[in-house]
Structure 1
Amino acid sequence: MATFHPISVEQDVLKARADPDSVRLKAKSLVDAAASDPFLAYLPENGREERVMRETDETIARFRKLGAEEVPLFGIFVGVKDVIHVAGIETRANSNFADQEIRAPGDATEAPVVASLRAKGAIILGKVKTTEFAFYTPTDTKNPWNPAHTPGGSSSGSGAAVALGLAHLTLGTQTASSTVRPAAFTGVVAIKPTFDRLPKGGWCALAEGADTVGLFTKDVGGMRAVLEAVMPFWHSTFYSQTLASVRTPSPSTKPRLLLPTGGLMALLKHDGARDQFYNQVIPAVCKVFDVFEYELFAPGEVQKILAVHWDLIRTEMYMEHSHNHGTGLNLYPSHSARYSPAFLDSLCIGESTLATNPSAHRTARRSRLHYRSHISDALKRTGCVAILCPCAADGPAPVGLQSTGDANLGTVWTHPGVPSVVVPCGVVEKMPVAVQVVAGFGRDEEAIAVAEVVQECVKEIWDAGVKECTGGNV
């Protein structure tokens, strides 16, 4: 049976406001559960209980003094991916390097997004596990639905912790598909926001031109509550107007979703997931939306996007770790033996690419702007509020812990930096599958509003799958 019992942001915020002292009991329960978790979502931390209980008492006192308006996330516990800096907890990035070795010059003691969550009342439970430097080499985290299957990566612990109910919210990162894939594989909601929409910095970067903080929660409502609190310039009115226009459209027209055809859908390799998407998800969504099939990318263009994005990642990996770039970590090549073979291979490819084609990095960065405009123009031209597509090229999480799965269906949207929201939509072969709701650049509020309605559309399918696999109620 799957182990799946995520906890609700919205419900537990209300409970905490009604009974602030109950947050201490929740803190102790989560500390104990994280320490004994057989799926290994969290890193060990000496003194975790003492730190968490101290921070909990301080947060309760702040809430009593300032109230819910100033401390809206009171009662929420957070796991932070171990490439993101948290004051008082070391960052190792699942690597063979010490904390001080992988902090770039001038790096913040704590990431701005972590500091913002604390300021709004969230409590940091601890660090969750990641692949090496948020790249390929897996960690030992297991999938709560079936420990023989990958939880995805690189934000492996982030997805698993939310699925297990070991955090209300976790932070991950995405450079290719490192947020959307773990969310899909573990059956939770996630957002890869618009590039640079959340404050950057205070982390161990993989590729600065693509790295984005990702967030994981039980459901879209909880995600909206978090984004309202911490995303700069969040437009609640824009969200509300979009939600109203989708839920109560004009009598003559349904809101329209763009369903990509051609090369993008060819990335989905799993026949069962393809059948579930077209035969269950699309009919459910069509009760509210008009689904408009459209060839968003010309033949061969998807492969060009993937190729140029990997040029961006590998050249920036090299720049980040190399002796030859003053802003980097100054680790490569003198410490090459301390990297995994996969990471070292990509550093070498990045070095070679820059040596043989010095313009490759600039070309890759410029192409982001081209595809960003292309997607926005297509949505306007077709009258669509968002794009709907499957989340993971593998379909359900593959068997085995040696790989974290195929990144391509997430990478296509990461390259232009547009927001993508993961919505679990059913179960295939007793493992969860999900869709992505993708909006135009900077339109995160629109993505969340549409995702909230898509979640309602597929709720019956999702609930039935969860009940079958867990043997209990959702």
Structure 2
Amino acid sequence: MDTELTKNKSNRNNENKMLTFYDHVPRFLEGSDSPRAYLERCINTIIKREAEVQAFVSMNLVRARADADASTMRYAAGKPLSLVDGMPIGVKDLFETEDLPTEVGSPLFKGKCTDRDAAVVQGLREAGAIILGKTVTAEFGFYSPGPTRNPLDITRTPGGSSSGSGAAVGAGMVPVAIGTQVVGSLIRPSSFNGNFGFKPTFGAINSSGAHSNLSQSVLGMHAGSLTDAWIASFEAARFAGGDPGHPGLYGIDEPMMSTKPKALARIETAGWQKCSPEVRELFERLVKRIEEKGVNITDRFCDINVESFESSVEPALDITNDICGYEFRWPLSSYQRRGPNAISSNIAQRLERWKSIENETYRNLLQQREKIRSQHERLKDSVTALITLSATGAAPKGLEYTGDPIFAVTSSILGAPAISLPLLEVDGMPLGIQIIGYKHRDAELFGIARWIMSIFDHKV
């Protein structure tokens, strides 16, 4: 087996080992382990690593321990509330929590408490999950990063805007953390921190109570295993529903079975030209390995429908930035009026452009988005899923730049489910492979992801 496809796994098995939760549940039931003991192991890792990683904004250890004790009692009685009963979870600091401030990465909201839980937080609490704390987000969930560092190399960015969530899972502090994605805020940091990232179908998990509500904003999960990513997402949707007007996440309350896809479309998007020859070669070798297992691999060079999709999706990043900028310019303008330093210069510069976008331009952008989605739907009968990279390379050095979202934006503009799988390594750091499915076929995508991971001998 090629070392570039497996080396990052062995690295994480040392200091940066990611946590899993589902495989501990039998021990909880038999009494050889407990949710409280599991939580304490998480806290010990946080104590050891948080000073350098800085993944969390705030924590409520008193409530977390009390909730873990209650979960321990339920397991002792053989009556857990759900598959995530006792699971410690980090919450991206865009979501309201009744017991902790919601600061959204901005000094304007420092210490601001709403005294209520976002829908997903309330739903997870009802499912027995333990809300351990709030994780760092970039300013307003956009571009200006917080202090979080990549746990695999603290001189590098963890990505953004779900930086704290990605780093907390990558550092083994929690098995699961909530993230969001509008452009590339979940898939990209999953790649950089070497964890499993799941961006579901748009609206599949209720995001009510989040700071922003943009037309591409979707709630998803960072996790130490595919199984934990699925059960956390499924239970969150089961207890909190989907976004208003959306049917929620389809599937079953157990891990998905491995499913070999009939055909995958290898897509390049506008990101391909930004990749180094080394990254391109690694990706091609991985795709070749999948093809050798009997999966039909098609691409833009042999399928006219794939070529049409590739051409349509090339401007996805520019379209997305303008759509979201237009939608968010009103609250940002209000914040800007609070003073010259109320918002970062990064956001302020972008805001000046967004203010110039007219209503008719916005309507045209929405039409372009719909055309891209239509091109994607045309692939449904012949292509089981799309496969591409999660990022252009390893996490960049430094903390000011969170990395290029060019690969991650594809699933965002489609509103389709995507999963980042930690299968490659470049520059001694992880690089994710992304698979993209079709709306409301999230469970099917997990089955494909499990099969892909299995052929590379990875624990899922």
TM over 0.5: yes
User: Cα 1:164–1:361, aligned 2, differ >3 Å: closer, same or farther?
Assistant: same
- Between the aligned partners of 1:265 and 1:427, the Cα distance in structure 2 is 18
Match of 1:391 in 2: 390
Offset, 1:305: 2.3
- TM-score under structure 2 length normalisation: 0.86
Q: Which amino acid aligns with 1:5?
A: K
Q: Is the 1:12–1:76 Cα contact (8 Å) retained in structure 2?
A: no
Match of 1:361 in 2: 362
Match of 2:205 in 1: 198
Unaligned runs of 5+ in 1: 248-253, 323-329, 464-473
Counterpart among 452, 455, 464 of residue 453 in structure 2:
455
Local SS of the residue matching 1:158: helix
Deviations 1:408-437 (A, max 9, x none): 111122012111111111211211111111
- Between the aligned partners of 2:115 and 2:288, the Cα distance in structure 1 is 45
Local SS of the residue matching 1:435: strand
Match of 2:303 in 1: none
Local SS of the residue matching 1:145: coil
Offset, 1:369: 2.9
- Between the aligned partners of 1:299 and 1:192, the Cα distance in structure 2 is 21
Counterpart among 442, 445, 453 of residue 444 in structure 1:
442
- Between the aligned partners of 2:46 and 2:432, the Cα distance in structure 1 is 26
Offset, 1:11: 1.2
Stretch of structure 1 that moved more, 8-17 or 279-288: 279-288
Local SS of the residue matching 1:228: helix
Match of 2:31 in 1: 19
Match of 1:277 in 2: 283
Q: How does 1:205-244 map to 2 (within 5 A)?
A: 205=212, 208-231=214-237, 232=241, 234-236=249-251, 243=257
Counterpart among 344, 347, 359 of residue 343 in structure 1:
347
Counterpart among 318, 322, 340 of residue 307 in structure 1:
318
Q: Is the 1:258–1:379 Cα contact (8 Å) retained in structure 2?
A: no
Offset, 1:345: 1.5
Q: Which amino acid aligns with 2:298?
A: F
User: Cα 1:199–1:331, aligned 2, differ >3 Å: closer, same or farther?
Assistant: same
User: Cα 1:44–1:264, aligned 2, differ >3 Å: closer, same or farther?
Assistant: closer
Counterpart among 42, 49, 60 of residue 55 in structure 2:
42
Aligned Cα root-mean-square deviation (Å): 2.7
Q: How does 1:41-440 map to 2 (within 5 A)?
A: 41-45=54-58, 48-63=60-75, 67-68=79-80, 70-98=81-109, 109-205=116-212, 208-231=214-237, 232=241, 234-236=249-251, 243=257, 246-247=259-260, 255-261=262-268, 263-264=269-270, 266-284=272-290, 286-294=292-300, 295-297=306-308, 301-322=312-333, 330-353=334-357, 357-380=358-381, 383-393=382-392, 395-440=393-438
Q: Which amino acid aligns with 1:181?
A: R
Offset, 1:62: 4.8
Offset, 1:340: 0.7
- Between the aligned partners of 1:297 and 1:152, the Cα distance in structure 2 is 30
Q: Is the 2:326–2:354 Cα contact (8 Å) retained in structure 1?
A: yes
Q: Which amino acid aligns with 2:128?
A: G
Match of 2:3 in 1: none
Local SS of the residue matching 2:315: helix
Match of 1:6 in 2: 18
Local SS of the residue matching 1:408: coil
Stretch of structure 1 that moved more, 362-371 or 407-416: 362-371
User: Cα 1:366–1:61, aligned 2, differ >3 Å: closer, same or farther?
Assistant: farther
Q: Which amino acid aligns with 1:427?
A: E
Local SS of the residue matching 2:108: coil
Match of 2:8 in 1: none
User: Cα 1:72–1:89, aligned 2, differ >3 Å: closer, same or farther?
Assistant: same
User: Cα 1:237–1:159, aligned 2, differ >3 Å: closer, same or farther?
Assistant: closer
Offset, 1:268: 4.2
- Between the aligned partners of 1:299 and 1:121, the Cα distance in structure 2 is 43
- TM-score under structure 1 length normalisation: 0.84
Stretch of structure 1 that moved more, 222-231 or 294-303: 294-303
Q: Is the 2:28–2:75 Cα contact (8 Å) retained in structure 1?
A: no
Offset, 1:141: 1.3
- Between the aligned partners of 2:291 and 2:196, the Cα distance in structure 1 is 17
User: Cα 1:110–1:451, aligned 2, differ >3 Å: closer, same or farther?
Assistant: same
User: Cα 1:238–1:283, aligned 2, differ >3 Å: closer, same or farther?
Assistant: farther
Q: Which amino acid aligns with 2:283?
A: F
Q: Which amino acid aligns with 1:446?
A: E
How many residues align? The count is 433
Local SS of the residue matching 1:39: helix
User: Cα 1:333–1:300, aligned 2, differ >3 Å: closer, same or farther?
Assistant: farther
Match of 1:469 in 2: none
User: Cα 1:436–1:299, aligned 2, differ >3 Å: closer, same or farther?
Assistant: closer
- Between the aligned partners of 1:99 and 1:297, the Cα distance in structure 2 is 47
Local SS of the residue matching 1:352: coil
Q: Is the 2:249–2:440 Cα contact (8 Å) retained in structure 1?
A: no
- Between the aligned partners of 2:90 and 2:367, the Cα distance in structure 1 is 34
Local SS of the residue matching 1:125: strand
Counterpart among 12, 27, 31 of residue 43 in structure 2:
31
Local SS of the residue matching 2:144: coil
Local SS of the residue matching 1:200: coil
User: Cα 1:344–1:425, aligned 2, differ >3 Å: closer, same or farther?
Assistant: same
Q: Which amino acid aligns with 2:319?
A: V
User: Cα 1:365–1:17, aligned 2, differ >3 Å: closer, same or farther?
Assistant: farther
Unaligned runs of 5+ in 2: 1-10, 242-247, 301-305
- Between the aligned partners of 1:43 and 1:418, the Cα distance in structure 2 is 29
Offset, 1:451: 1.0
Q: Is the 1:16–1:75 Cα contact (8 Å) retained in structure 2?
A: no
Offset, 1:134: 1.2
User: Cα 1:336–1:442, aligned 2, differ >3 Å: closer, same or farther?
Assistant: farther
Q: Is the 1:152–1:181 Cα contact (8 Å) retained in structure 2?
A: yes
- Between the aligned partners of 2:405 and 2:45, the Cα distance in structure 1 is 31
